[in-house]
């Protein structure tokens, strides 16, 4: 007899089926026991006559095989168990209970026992939502004519020219873990693909230890050629996010309900504010003194302002100063740039903008940052042979997931977080 999944039981009323999964809950009432079986497609109650079926030795989270008849019970189905076979026993006491509504331990304990914690319905739902978001990103861009690429994560130089790099020994050479696929995205635009994207891990050696930072995270990257300016990228991201959220609403309704997550609404356009104007708003309205950049508190405050004034949970901040942007960023007037961040519910989830496509301008920009352009000659080469105007963006998947669900710490949206202190499990 083949295994039947719980989600398919409604079509098996009156039939004998074989189920396999974990003992989620077990309640004994004299000669009758009620066993809740759990597997990836759902939960089902199994009614056990203990005079006929031996349940001795069964503990919560034991892996079992149950054979029985499917019966209708009001609006639900349940199993009248005829046989229970113990497949894999539980050897030790569980470090926490996972069949309650909430796991009542701190985040470190959860992450120390990450695999076990993911058996909990709420935590399990986080990563089904995350998978759906990623699939939505891929599907939308393929329809838009983008080609998926896979770029190296071992590199000879950082994509942003900074010091926040993880150095590693690469045979007799020095190498680094990639901060971003930025150079390769641009090179592939110049190779004639025009529109490319990647979903992959990136690495930042920042020594932060906050609830918004990870040292390894998944970046949803795209780059596209033949644009006018950064507004083309912003309009694309608006449509992209609407499509991803639509997919989430259609395919993850159960998971969103389990987590009590409320999806944001996106109109025809997302509100856009130049950064200098946003800084003035923060100074005048909130008494927050900022100079040329915005800090995490400022992101939260400008979100509150936009939510109140425009009813939006998203806001594009544009025209960051050149000194705060990487060397490949296209300059604008007055020392500003054709770049943007997207703030969602008070947290930056996207950085993007137009890139420099002129060889001489790019070489000069690299050197203006105090960097040796010779070290970037492989990157620069394609710019000698005709590069279209182009731009792109990167979305932090864990941050996006956390903000949609309403998680307080980005580590909760990472399967196996890597931060300042954690490299296990």
Q: What are 95-128's pLDDT values in tens digits? A: 999 999 899 999 999 999 999 999 999 999 999 9
What is the reported pLDDT for 375?
Answer: 92
Higher per-residue pLDDT: 249 or 100: 249
What is the reported pLDDT for 28?
Answer: 94
Q: Please say if the pLDDT value at position 188 is more than 80.
A: yes
What are the tens digits of pLDDT across the range 309-359? 999 999 999 999 999 999 999 999 999 999 999 999 999 999 999 999 999
Kindly list the strands in the beta sheet with 154-155, ordered across the sheet, starting from the edge strand earlier in the chain: 154-155, 173-177, 167-170
What is the reported pLDDT for 163?
Answer: 66
Average pLDDT, the chain: 96
pTM as predicted: 0.95
Rounded to an integer, the average pLDDT of 48-75 is 95
Share of the chain above pLDDT 70, in %: 99
pLDDT tier for residue 262 given thresholds of 50, 70 and 90:
very high
What is the reported pLDDT for 73?
Answer: 87
What are the tens digits of pLDDT across the range 358-408? 999 999 999 999 999 999 999 999 999 999 999 999 999 999 999 999 999
What is the reported pLDDT for 291?
Answer: 86
What is the reported pLDDT for 94?
Answer: 94
């Amino acid at each position: 007899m083949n295994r039947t999944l719980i989600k398919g039981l409604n079509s098996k009323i009156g039939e004998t089926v074989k189920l396999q999964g974990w003992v989620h809950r077990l309640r004994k009432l004299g000669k009758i026991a009620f066993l809740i079986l759990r597997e990836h497609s759902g939960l089902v109650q199994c009614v056990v006559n203990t005079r006929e079926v031996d349940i001795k030795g069964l503990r919560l989270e034991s892996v079992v095989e149950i054979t029985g008849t499917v019966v209708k019970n009001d609006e639900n189905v349940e199993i009248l168990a005829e046989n229970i076979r113990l497949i894999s026993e539980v050897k030790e006491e569980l470090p926490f209970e996972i069949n309650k509504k909430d796991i009542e331990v701190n985040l470190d304990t959860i992450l120390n026992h990450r695999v076990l914690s993911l058996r909990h319905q709420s935590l399990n739902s986080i990563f089904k939502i995350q998978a759906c978001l990623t699939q939505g990103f891929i599907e939308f861009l393929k329809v838009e004519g983008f080609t998926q690429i896979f770029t190296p994560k071992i590199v000879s130089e950082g994509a942003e020219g900074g010091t926040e790099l993880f150095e590693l020994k690469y045979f007799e050479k020095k190498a680094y873990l990639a901060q971003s696929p930025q150079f390769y995205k641009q090179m592939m635009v110049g190779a004639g693909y025009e529109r490319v994207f990647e979903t992959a891990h990136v690495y930042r050696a920042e020594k932060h230890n906050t609830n918004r930072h990870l040292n390894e995270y998944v970046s949803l990257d795209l780059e596209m050629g033949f644009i006018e300016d950064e507004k083309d990228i912003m309009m694309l991201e608006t449509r992209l996010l609407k499509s991803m959220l639509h997919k989430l609403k259609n395919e993850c309704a159960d998971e969103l309900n389990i987590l009590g997550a409320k999806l944001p609404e996106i109109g025809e356009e997302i509100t856009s504010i130049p950064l200098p104007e946003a800084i003035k708003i923060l100074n005048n309205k909130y008494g927050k003194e900022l100079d040329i950049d915005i800090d995490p508190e400022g992101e939260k405050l400008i979100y509150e302002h936009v939510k109140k004034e425009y009813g939006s949970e998203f806001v594009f901040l544009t025209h960051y100063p050149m000194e705060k942007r990487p060397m490949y960023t296209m300059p604008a007037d007055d020392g500003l740039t054709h770049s943007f961040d997207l703030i969602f519910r008070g947290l930056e989830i996207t950085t993007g903008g137009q890139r420099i496509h002129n060889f001489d301008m790019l070489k000069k920009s690299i050197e203006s940052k105090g960097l040796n352009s010779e070290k970037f000659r492989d990157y620069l080469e394609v710019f000698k042979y005709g590069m279209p105007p182009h731009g792109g963006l990167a979305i932090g998947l864990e941050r996006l997931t956390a903000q949609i669900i309403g998680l307080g710490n980005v580590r909760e949206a990472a399967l196996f977080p890597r931060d300042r202190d954690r490299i296990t499990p």
